[in-house]
Amino acid sequence: MSPFAIQITNGCLIPDIEQEDQNSFQALQKLGAIEELDGLWKLHSLYRVGRIYIANGGKGYVEASFKEQKRFTD
């Protein structure tokens, strides 16, 4: 998993985000996928970080990377 994915899952400060991840961070902000909680930016509780699997028919699922998120993806 990328360091950026870990940062937005655990919570981070804007100055801690690498320059190469700034565009992704801003896009997530615009989409409302991350939120500021107690001064830290974190992935909104509706979203998960993980690996996406897509079948030929177009259906797929996300395998959550963190144990505490897996219970929500079943």
Could you tell me how many helices (H) and strands (E) the chain has, helices first?
A: 3, 4
pLDDT tens profile 29-66: 999 999 999 999 999 988 888 788 898 988 988 777 66
Q: Which residue has the tokens 């870990």?
A: 6
pLDDT tens profile 7-30: 999 999 999 999 999 999 999 999
Q: What is the pTM of this model?
A: 0.70
Tokens of 17: 């985000």
56/5 Cα distance (integer angstroms): 27
Q: Where are the beta strands (DSSP E) in 1-74?
A: 34-37, 40-43, 50-54, 60-64
